[in-house]
Amino acid sequence: MNYEEMILKSREEKDKFFRNHPYSPLTTEQKRKFKGLNYFEPDISYRYEVKINKYEDQRKVSIRTSKGTAQEYIRWGYIEFERDGKTNILSVFKQEGEDYFFIPFKDKTTGKETYSAGRYIEVENLGDDLYLLDFNFAYNPYCAYNDNWVCPLTPFENNLEIAVEAGEKKFHD
């Protein structure tokens, strides 16, 4: 299976989950009308191998949520990647006791082609201090689908000055 086929298969499985699974973020009414999520075309140029540069002071921070509450995260480090001739930086967060990293972000597509509160991306550990950052897997938080969900909002430091035309677009019923 080539890269594009892998992305499309993953999206097909996500649509099936959203349509059928009891833990889908969609309401029963939304599931009845659901025809699939909207995505940018797969683009391998949005796939990066990156290192996580750990902050010396890995302090806890409160990130505001879509409901006006706050959730605590550890501001773990940052990643850098090159795009459009610029070095771009995203802070990487982690919840205490969890073993995966959380990266909320906004970019120049936010509020236009993509969800107005931003999207999320996760990194996959490749070993040897390398991680896979693949924006083709950027996704909307569950609060993008309906107001029953509470989602961490994107901290200002993760507002990119580029358009990330990869991953999930706005949800449309």
Predicted confidence (pLDDT) per residue in 6-25, tens digit: 999 999 999 999 999 999 99
Backbone torsion region of residue 118, taken as left when φ is above 0, otherwise alpha when ψ lies between -120 and 50, otherwise beta: left
pLDDT value of residue 125: 92
Residue 160 has phi, psi (to 5 degrees) of -80, 150
Tell me the C-alpha distance between 90 and 67, whole Å: 24
Structure tokens at 171: 């949800």
Summarize pLDDT for 36-56 with one digit per residue, the tens: 999 999 999 999 999 999 999
Tell me the C-alpha distance between 105 and 90, whole Å: 8
Mean pLDDT of 163-173: 90
Tell me the C-alpha distance between 11 and 148, whole Å: 23
pLDDT-derived band at 172, boundaries 50, 70, 90: confident
Contact 39, 14 (CB under 8 A): no
Percent of the chain with pLDDT over 90: 89
Mean pLDDT of 68-95: 95
Summarize pLDDT for 118-154 with one digit per residue, the tens: 999 999 999 988 999 999 999 999 999 998 999 999 9
Tell me the C-alpha distance between 161 and 69, whole Å: 27
Q: What b/e sequence results for 3-24 when a residue is b if at least 16 CB atoms lie within 10 Å of its CB, and e otherwise? A: eeeebeeebeebeeebeeeeeb
pLDDT value of residue 84: 87
Which residues sit opposite 68 in a β-bridge?
Answer: none
H or E, element range at 172? none
Burial grade of 27 (CB within 10 A; 0-12, 13-18, 19 or more): middle
Structure tokens at 40: 């940018």
Summarize pLDDT for 51-81 with one digit per residue, the tens: 999 999 899 999 999 999 999 999 999 999 9
Instruction: Indicate if the pLDDT at residue 156 is higher than 60.
Output: yes
Instruction: Indicate if the pLDDT at residue 163 is higher than 60.
Output: yes
pLDDT value of residue 99: 84
Q: What is the pTM of this model?
A: 0.94
